[in-house]
Amino acid sequence: MAQRTGRIFTYDEALALFPLVRDRTASAVQELEALASDSATRESESEEEHEELETASREVVARWAAEIGELGCQVKGLWLVDWDAGDGYYCWRHPEPALAHFHGYDEGFAGRIPIT
């Protein structure tokens, strides 16, 4: 069984927090897309510019993960967030429109089931 740490959420609590998680995630995604777009518009990219882009991209993702963690949620992958329910996780991945999946502690993302 996976080790639980941090806050336990009811489904209603997770739903209440979901818009903030969704919006912060969308902002981070847009920031990464802008970095990639800026890079793509250059005719050639030096090794130094490539490294700067990689660093900036890692910083965006790290900042997003820290913000999500501060909310009491768990980042399980790029743009993948879980809310600990006490017996598993409410699970969401950008750009899904709703918090509508659950999985046990041991099943992981592949074992997600719809919340009915």
What are the structural domain ranges in the chain?
11-114
pTM passes above 0.95 = no
Q: Give ∠ CA 20-21-22 in degrees, rounded to 5.
A: 90
Note the pLDDT tens digit of each residue in 37-57.
877 677 666 888 889 999 999
Note the pLDDT tens digit of each residue in 3-37.
556 899 999 999 999 999 999 999 999 999 999 88
Two structure tokens written together for 14: 């997770």
Length of the chain: 116
Sheet with 89-93: strands ordered across: 74-77, 80-84, 89-93, 101-103, 113-114
As a dihedral over the C-alpha atoms of residue 80, residue 85, residue 89, residue 90, rounded to 10 degrees, the angle is -60
Report pLDDT for 87. 96
